[in-house]
Chains A and B, each alone.
Chain A
Amino acid sequence: MKTHWETVIGLEVHVQLNTASKLFSGAATEFGASPNRQACGIDLGLPGVLPVLNADALKKALRFGIAIDAEIPEYSTFDRKNYLYPDLPKGYQTSQFEHPVVGTGRIVVETEEGTSLPVRITRAHLEEDAGKSIHDAYPGLTALDFNRSGMPLLEIVTEPDMRSPAQAAACFRHIHRLVTHLRICDGNLSQGSMRCDANISLRPAGQDTLGERAELKNINSFRFLEQALEYEVGRQRRLLESGETVKRETRQFDHVSGTTKAMRGKELSDDYRYFPCPDLLPVHVDAHLLAEVRRDMPELPDAKAERLMREHEVSADDAARLTSDPDMVDWLDAALQAMSDDAPDGLGQALSKLLLGQVRASLNRTQIDMASCPVTPTQGAMLALRNLDGTLSSAGLRDLFRVIWDAGDASLNVDALIEEQGLAQVRDTSALAELVQSVIDANPKQVEQYRQGQTRLLGFFVGQVMRASKGSADPKQVSEMLREVLGE
């Protein structure tokens, strides 16, 4: 009988916290500085230096803990994880081993099939990042860049609650959406602001104990995570079905070949000689600090989606897509705010269409983040408003949006632009009637055919009128008038 295999996956997600300075030093954390310009004596592990915990990093970790309704221990401690590597300046990484800042919690992941998957969070702890070894900059030499040394990371560990690569990717996405909405991480995967390790094993369906697992390291894309895990499922199944065993090892995903390969054996687990860091006192999280963190808590993504659906009749799908980027929701809120006095019904819906349509397409085209969207919320709101009240046709909206996007000028006024560029829809029936008549006069053959029953030709006439109006006519109005005239 053929065995049915169950896939079991757990994740460790490393979230780079967006603090202004490092976890234990005052050095800046900005991305892209030239090598070793953002590393102070503490990050370089000079003799005699000491770490001081960044209070903002602690608060951001707590914010995550509160968001997942986790147990928050009153005390957490830092430990040293000892190993030698040239980009690890002190010869140990300061991390939290025994007493993490965030205890057990829970998230509910929306899967692609539209079901809700509860995923237990084992813990989340603070730790410092290492520097970077660059092996290809100088032939025969390894270069070291310590800018990343001491960057604050929140490592989020899940229980092995996922049963498919797709679920794992959905979980990674969910955590991404959560930490970006919490404003504790910029979520920039390509700059390494989030990385994910996945533990994956297979077991015969119905078996309670876990099979031997492989750990996939350092994956920084949702798609790669799913691909890597898919590959692993196949690899492990083939091994098990041919009677072999899965080795406990760390594997790396190669996105070019779509395969994983072993990094280093983990049969003898590394001995990191963890012990409490004597340079840091236990962190005390008291009621006062928790209250402060709660007070500064931003709206959670699920609550945002729910609000968009309730207050602005945004569809569930659109709400989910909008909340994948907190800056989109902020932009939408700001646009609605700007129109608060005379926001007509449907403005929220219109704005969400604008965001998910043109805005998103333009962001993709120009490769920029929503945070630097050149069209201001007020401009966006005016565009949507003028489209809703019929002043601006959909084509006009599209053109004007592009004009404002390209200008990137926050002072541009939508109404003034409509006026200036003559984009106001021709709503004057007599002027439109003239256009309709001239099109009918110019195409007697098509008129004849239409009247003989080829009503599909209506589209042709609408197109001709629209062209004649240089797009300023309202197509709906045009087709009504055409139908009337042609029906005679």
Chain B
Amino acid sequence: MPDPYLDIRELRTLLDGGQCSASELVEAHFARIEHINPRLGCYLRLHEQAARDAAADADARIAQGERSPLLGIPIAHKDIFCTKGELTTCGSKILEHWRAPYDATIVERLAQAGVVVLGKSNMDEFAMGSSNENSAYGPVANPWDESRVPGGSSGGSAAAVAAGLAAAATATDTGGSIRQPASLCGVTGIRPTYGRVSRFGMIAFASSLDQAGVIARSAYDVALMLRAMAGFDTRDSTSNERGVEDLDDLIANDGALSSANLRIGLPREYMDALKSAGYAATLDAARCELESLGMRFEDVSLPSTFAAIPAYYVLACSEASSNLSRFDGVRYGHRGEDAESLEEVYRSSRSEGFGAEVKRRILTGTYCLSYGYYDAYYKKAMRVRRVIRDEFARAFESVDVLLTPSTPGIAFKRGELAGDHIAMYQQDCFTTPAALAGQPCLSMPCGFDGGLPLGAQLIGPHFSDARLLGVAHAFQQATDHHRQRPAL
């Protein structure tokens, strides 16, 4: 069995060199998943037959001399993405038996790139959560410490990559759902510029914030995956028409940036808010490393950073209250039994189908949009959003990239924040500002605290995704934090 922690480029060498077939790779992954997944809960479902078929197809194509970066690479899809003919639950009871009749755009694109989909990964229900404790199908454990959370909402994707159960996994980020679990699980995850990756077929939580991305073992692997996923999609009106030449260039350059003399900003507000001394020391070490690679640092200020959390929760909940109205028990999904009236159909279907956090956010959002409250909440939050966007724009006049912590600290214990919603929402304090502004941002492993991984966040101007990946790649060439493995 090949090493389950090989990255995509290493797997490519094995596959193209004939040392290992895609089929063997799939079997090895299934064996490891069978062994480890019961403890971690990363996968909700495996697509065993489809994966074997895809692997056989990849093997045939490789044998015929086809060379393609992702051909035969085993990945997982977050269960928020529609996969044709397969269950797509979004971590919710309300979609327990729902089979999507179509593929999400990114599912389609990755299939065209030749990936092998092992199965669907666990997540917080409707991507609402920062600990993966809100999944209707059970929590996910952090591979570094099974008593701790992997983060959320893409907890299954991050943990699967960290545990060697997939080479990469798709993920989504509304307020931090890629970067926070990537940070807590010691893997690399990007939230691309809003509009860079199609949202078609990705079940909506908060449309103006939802962004599909990817989690993998290295920045270079992330670039390979993102290259296949990104680009304009006529089926998503908010997708951007810009091409993917920047990612092509990065990949063609072997991950190397064309310019090493980047100016990196350290936002004062983020650093001041970081309470963990260990984390601060780790970030400082990362900064020294980047300096030694030729990057220059300077302090910047983003004064409205901490208005982001309330604004984010108002906007995300408002949009969610509307987006989740379609789950009414009428056409598909869970329907409450024995309902005597229309209102009872709604009440029982939604009461039984949705979990507590989803209900909390629907209620919050409905309230924020209500007559008489709209201006005080939604409109004000939109103003905050504009201010935050403007502050980022101003910061990027003087620096090329921002370096910040990804999370307040290491992974917390399962149940530790249960009941303390505000503390839970504070998990996103470093990730929501960039989400509100639509900036590209990533989290990369930058060290450990008490044996648990920590991430550094890079934030860039709109459409600087390749630059962020280039910085992360340079950092990973010089360090081995991303090469560390949990003891499983």
Q: Is B407 an interface residue when CB atoms closer than 8 A count as contact?
A: no
User: In the complex, which range does the number of interface residues on chain B fall in?
Assistant: 35 or more
Q: How far is the CA of A49 from the CA of B200 in the complex (A)?
A: 6
Q: How far is the CA of A281 from the CA of B202 in the complex (A)?
A: 18
CB-based contact B322/A86 at 8 Å: no
CB-based contact A82/B322 at 8 Å: yes
Q: Is A53 an interface residue when CB atoms closer than 8 A count as contact?
A: yes
Contact mask A20-48 → B, CB, 8 Å, 1/0? 00000000000000000000010011111
CB-based contact B238/A86 at 8 Å: no
Interface residues of A in 268-285 (CB under 8 A from B): 269, 271, 273-275, 278-281
Q: How far is the CA of A44 from the CA of B327 in the complex (A)?
A: 11
Query: What residue in chain B is nearest A53 (Cβ atoms)?
Result: B237
Q: Which residues of A contact B221 (CB under 8 A)?
A: none
Q: How far is the CA of A281 from the CA of B81 in the complex (A)?
A: 23
Q: Is A371 an interface residue when CB atoms closer than 8 A count as contact?
A: no
CB-based contact A48/B342 at 8 Å: no
Stretch at the interface among A89-97, A162-170, A198-206, A476-484: A89-97
- Known interface pairs A278-B207, A278-B208. Does A84 touch B328 (Cβ–Cβ under 8 Å)? yes
Q: Is B318 an interface residue when CB atoms closer than 8 A count as contact?
A: yes
Q: Which residues of A contact B322 (CB under 8 A)?
A: 80, 82, 91-92, 273, 275
Q: Which residues of A contact B204 (CB under 8 A)?
A: 47-48, 279
CB-based contact B378/A275 at 8 Å: yes
Q: How far is the CA of A315 from the CA of B81 in the complex (A)?
A: 66
CB-based contact B370/A47 at 8 Å: no
Q: Is A50 an interface residue when CB atoms closer than 8 A count as contact?
A: yes
Q: How far is the CA of A95 from the CA of B111 in the complex (A)?
A: 36
B227 to chain A: closest CB distance in Å?
A: 23
Q: Which residues of B contact A84 (CB under 8 A)?
A: 325, 328, 346
A384 to chain B: closest CB distance in Å?
A: 51
Q: How far is the CA of A271 from the CA of B372 in the complex (A)?
A: 10
CB-based contact B369/A52 at 8 Å: no
Q: How far is the CA of A91 from the CA of B88 in the complex (A)?
A: 21
Q: Which residues of A contact B238 (CB under 8 A)?
A: 50, 278-281
CB-based contact A41/B236 at 8 Å: no
Interface residues of A in 247-283 (CB under 8 A from B): 269, 271, 273-275, 278-281
B457 to chain A: closest CB distance in Å?
A: 24
CB-based contact B371/A45 at 8 Å: no
A270 to chain B: closest CB distance in Å?
A: 9
Main secondary structure of the interface of B (DSSP, over half): loop
- Known interface pairs A47-B203, A52-B234, A275-B369. Does A90 touch B325 (Cβ–Cβ under 8 Å)? yes
Q: Is B104 an interface residue when CB atoms closer than 8 A count as contact?
A: yes
Other-chain residue from A48, A51, A278 in contact with B202 (beta carbon distance below 8 A): A48
CB-based contact A279/B207 at 8 Å: yes
Query: What residue in chain A is nearest B329 (Cβ atoms)?
Result: A86
Q: Which residues of B contact A53 (CB under 8 A)?
A: 237
CB-based contact B371/A271 at 8 Å: yes
Stretch at the interface among B94-102, B155-163, B417-425, B463-471: B94-102
Q: How far is the CA of A200 from the CA of B328 in the complex (A)?
A: 36
Q: Which residues of A contact B346 (CB under 8 A)?
A: 84
CB-based contact A50/B237 at 8 Å: yes
CB-based contact B330/A144 at 8 Å: yes
Q: Is B143 an interface residue when CB atoms closer than 8 A count as contact?
A: no
Q: Which residues of A contact B321 (CB under 8 A)?
A: 82, 273
CB-based contact A51/B237 at 8 Å: yes
- Known interface pairs A52-B235, A92-B322. Does A86 touch B330 (Cβ–Cβ under 8 Å)? yes
Q: Is B319 an interface residue when CB atoms closer than 8 A count as contact?
A: yes
Q: How far is the CA of A348 from the CA of B318 in the complex (A)?
A: 62
- Known interface pairs A84-B325, A91-B326, A271-B370. Does A45 touch B102 (Cβ–Cβ under 8 Å)? no
| Sample of 16 A–B contacts (CB below 8 Å) | A46-B101, A48-B100, A48-B200, A52-B235, A52-B237, A91-B326, A91-B328, A144-B330, A273-B370, A274-B369, A275-B319, A278-B206, A278-B319, A279-B204, A279-B238, A281-B237
The 10 A-B pairs at the shortest CB distance, nearest first, are namely A91-B325, A278-B208, A278-B207, A273-B369, A45-B326, A271-B371, A48-B201, A47-B203, A48-B82, A90-B326
